[in-house]
Amino acid sequence: MTTKKELRITIKSLKNQQDRKEWEEFSNKIFAQVEQTEAFKKSSTILSYWSMNDEVITHQAVERWSKHKKVYLPLIKGNDLELVRFEGVKKMKPEPIFGILEPTSEEKIEISGIDLVIVPGVAFDANCNRMGRGKGYYDRLLSESVAAKIGVAYNFQIVDEVPVDQHDVPLNMVVTEKNIFKR
């Protein structure tokens, strides 16, 4: 059984072997699939993330969705995430630790007010288990949530088995450019 630490190293080296020119196209495909789901169609409040350069690219999808739904993005506050309304790229600022762009809006929401969460991750498996960047932010956030949870990843991030700890929260669905896994 591989450990989370080993799996993070494996995925990091796989990332370096990818042709990133395809990532924009893959990301478009992934979010086209997400938009077909009942969970998406029924949702009015979405928690997405604003992608960093090694993640499924969310920027276009967030802009598109924000025209007819309320879209929120995570903001790091110590050990927790605050959920802040997306009001356009111009109203975002880089956060000091990882440089992730975060919204500057005053409008916040509790996780209980969210219908659908688009979850980033380092690796996922076909049972919709997820491993993140190892800080536990999403595990703590999602443990309190009944929202639909859709993980998004490139297909190379799907592994046979993600090591699962007790606090890890499984997702309802994982979407890649090649597959849709449901639980």
Ligand X SMILES: Nc1ncnc2c1ncn2[C@@H]1O[C@H](COP(=O)(O)OP(=O)(O)OP(=O)(O)O)[C@@H](O)[C@H]1O
Residue for token digits 């495909």? 29
Angle, alpha carbons 138-142-145 (nearest 5°): 160
Residues of span 106-165 touching ligand X by CB under 6 A: 131-140, 143, 165
71 is in the binding site of which of ligand X, ligand FFO, none (Cβ under 5 to 8 A by kind)? none
Instruction: Count the neighbouring beta carbons within 10 Å of the beta carbon of residue 159.
Output: 19
51 is in the binding site of which of ligand FFO, ligand X, none (Cβ under 5 to 8 A by kind)? ligand FFO
Residue for token digits 């927790």? 80
Tell whether residue 130 is among the known ligand binding residues: yes
Report if residue 9 touches ligand X, rule: CB under 6 A: no
Tell whether residue 41 is among the known ligand binding residues: no
Tell whether residue 136 is among the known ligand binding residues: yes
Q: Supply the minimum distance, in Å, between the C-beta of residue 94 and ligand X.
A: 19
- With CB under 6 A as the contact rule, the residue among 11, 168, 173, 177 that binds ligand X is 168
Tell whether residue 93 is among the known ligand binding residues: no
165 is in the binding site of which of ligand FFO, ligand X, none (Cβ under 5 to 8 A by kind)? ligand X
Tell whether residue 49 is among the known ligand binding residues: no
CA 82, CA 136: separation in Å to the nearest integer?
14
Nearer to ligand X, 42 or 98 (CB): 98
Report if residue 51 touches ligand FFO, rule: CB under 6 A: yes
Q: Which positions touch ligand FFO (CB under 6 A)? A: 49-52, 55, 74, 76, 81, 98, 100, 120, 132-133, 135, 137-138
Q: Which residues are annotated as a binding site?
A: 4-8, 55, 130-138
Q: Which positions touch ligand X (CB under 6 A)? A: 4, 131-140, 143, 165, 167-168
